[in-house]
Amino acid sequence: MSQQPTGGPSITQERRLVTEIPGPRSQELAARKAKAVASGVAVGLPVQIVAAGGGILVDADGNQLIDLGSGIAVTTVGNSAPRVVEAVTRQVAEFTHTCFMVTPYEGYVAVAEKLNELTPGTHEKRSALFNSGAEAVENAVKIARSATGKQSVVVFDHAYHGRTNLTMAMTAKNMPYKKGFGPFASEVYRAPLSYPFRDGGLDGAEAARKAIDVIEKQVGADNLAAIVIEPIQGEGGFIVPADGFLPALVSWCRENNVVFVADEVQTGFARTGELFACDHEGVVPDLIVTAKGIAGGLPLAAVTGRAELMDAAHAGGLGGTYGGNPLACAAALAVIETIEAEGLVDRARTIGKTMIERLSALKDADPRIGEVRGRGAMIAVELVKPGTDEPDADLTKRVAAAANAQGMVVLTCGTYGNVLRFLPPLSMPDHLLDEALDILTQVFREN
Ligand SMILES: Cc1ncc(COP(=O)(O)O)c(C=O)c1O
């Protein structure tokens, strides 16, 4: 049963604007940032956050903003969720680090056990823990290469896999992720994605045939270690592939000794109304990469997969100083407990139903909304010039800026910069979600 979550610290769950956004204190911090922080590290909305919980971010000027971003799909269980605070506080007082590769501790093993149990498939699994999504994606590729003795990797149009050298090569979009940062890692090939709004409505099987044709002609199964795909693309535009696309790719991988890797860094941990997005179609990946929502904001990532693949890398071949550090592991166990205790998978579905209903009504009244899509609490609208499918990035920027000015954190994404994406924490109460949708309706009317 879905229930209203208990939320985090005792912050009144109301939007409140007491200054312009950003207010004077936030502007002071922005001035300090400009002098102290590399300008390559850009900021979406320069408000100085001092507290957060439930569905609210509080800034240093006393404004309370509705959070529709969850720090890019990280604080799925809410900011400073009570169980996470309690578990991390206890752990920080006990010990903060030993390096699991030097002297191990229980939390790491317990997280691996939980991941092996909860990720799709009942086969024997192993997990390895890392710090960031990109690092885990890199390790999934290392594992697939080591297990198959092959080198090539196939990724998809619109993909985002991170900002390290290999994951930049795997990411599709040049600006801002890749421009000027090459040369990139080799043996990475790109296949067409199922993108129902933009591929003429190919069904999943047809779209998969097209992708497989490119893979067979341009790469060859004999060279191919892994296909890496986001089951719902995140930064690329919250693109939900047509039904059957993912299962067809999995079948082809099985027939061709190619490792199927699901990058669930953004979609994982209850976000989409299933524990993992693969679960919507019963897809069982060989390896699954998780991060973001796994640990409530502490840096943790994982690769989980078939024991025989995961065990292929030689002893000492996987790891890192901080991977699976004790604080992050304590947080992850508390996140998983929170998802189960508060029925957050159902909660994501309820949030998704409300958002799809309200945004679809908005689309019916506004021809600039080309499509409303997504699953659970991972929902987006793609904006176009009316009567066409021509992307409207300017409108997207205007709507996001107007929503920000009204005290709402809204993110954009998409290869064409024309997608507004909504990732509310699952701790957001109904009245705040309703208010956020009212504001969006008003902002579309005025822009
Ligand atoms: C699907 C996907 N993969 C990988 C990454 C990279 O994760 P991180 O930023 O933790 O390195 C992201 C981050 O947005 C992502 O959405």
Q: Which of 359, 404, 393 is nearest to 378 (CA)?
A: 359
Which atom belonging to ligand 1 lies closest to the Cα atom of 299? Answer: 10
* Residue whose CB lies within 8 A of the most ligand 1 atoms, among 41, 70, 161, for a mutation test: 161
Q: Which two tokens stand for residue 86?
A: 């309690």
21 lines ligand 1 (CB under 6 A): no
**What is the C-alpha separation between 25 and 22, in angstroms, rounded?**
8
> What does pTM read for this prediction?
0.97
Which atom belonging to ligand 1 lies closest to the Cα atom of 72? Answer: 14
Look-up of token digits 């790719």 = 249
263 lines ligand 1 (CB under 6 A): yes
Question: For each of the chain's 447 residues, which pLDDT tens digit applies?
Answer: 444 455 556 899 999 999 999 999 999 999 999 999 999 999 999 999 999 999 999 999 999 999 999 999 999 999 999 999 999 999 999 999 999 999 999 999 999 999 999 999 999 999 999 999 999 999 999 999 999 999 999 999 999 999 999 999 999 999 999 999 999 999 999 999 999 999 998 999 999 999 999 999 999 999 999 999 999 999 999 999 999 999 999 999 999 999 999 999 999 999 999 999 999 999 999 999 999 999 999 999 999 999 999 999 999 999 999 999 999 999 999 999 999 999 999 999 999 999 999 999 999 999 999 999 999 999 999 999 999 999 999 999 999 999 999 999 999 999 999 999 999 999 999 999 999 999 999 999 999
291 lines ligand 1 (CB under 6 A): yes
Question: Is 134 in contact with 164 (CB distance < 8 Å)?
Answer: yes
Look-up of token digits 């909304």 = 369
Question: Is 342 in contact with 5 (CB distance < 8 Å)?
Answer: yes
Model pLDDT, residue 31: 98
**What is the C-alpha separation between 198 and 214, in angstroms, rounded?**
18
351 lines ligand 1 (CB under 6 A): no
Model pLDDT, residue 1: 40
- The full DSSP string for 291-356 is -GGGGBTB--EEEEEEHHHHTTSPTTSS--SSTT-HHHHHHHHHHHHHHHHTTHHHHHHHHHHHHH
10 CA → ligand 1 middle, Å: 30
Give the CA count within 13 Å in the CB-facing half-sphere of 228. 37
Q: Which of 334, 394, 393 is nearest to 92 (CA)?
A: 334
Return phi, psi of residue 30, to 5°: -60, -40
Model pLDDT, residue 10: 84
131 lines ligand 1 (CB under 6 A): no
Q: Which of 103, 104, 424, 437 is nearest to 273 (CA)?
A: 424
**What is the C-alpha separation between 12 and 19, in angstroms, rounded?**
18
Residue nearest to atom 16 of ligand 1 (CA): 266
Model pLDDT, residue 2: 44
**What is the C-alpha separation between 216 and 110, in angstroms, rounded?**
40
Residue nearest to atom 4 of ligand 1 (CA): 161
**For the CA atoms of the chain, what is the radius of gyration?**
21
Q: ∠ at Cα 108 (103, 111), nearest 5°?
A: 170
Amino acid at 385: K
Q: Which two tokens stand for residue 121?
A: 């498939």
382 lines ligand 1 (CB under 6 A): no
**Residues for the chain: how many in total?**
447
340: left (phi over 0), alpha (psi -120 to 50) or beta: alpha
Give the CA count within 13 Å in the CB-facing half-sphere of 187. 13
- Alpha carbon of 58 to those of 16, 75, 383, 403: distances in Å? 9, 15, 30, 16
83 CA → ligand 1 middle, Å: 25
291 CA → ligand 1 middle, Å: 8
Amino acid at 153: V
Model pLDDT, residue 7: 53
**What is the C-alpha separation between 260 and 225, in angstroms, rounded?**
9
Per DSSP, what are the bridge partners of residue 382? 371, 419
Look-up of token digits 């100085």 = 48
Per DSSP, what are the bridge partners of residue 288? 262, 304
Which atom belonging to ligand 1 lies closest to the Cα atom of 301? Answer: 10
Residue nearest to atom 7 of ligand 1 (CA): 133
162 lines ligand 1 (CB under 6 A): yes
Question: Is 413 in contact with 396 (CB distance < 8 Å)?
Answer: no
Model pLDDT, residue 434: 98
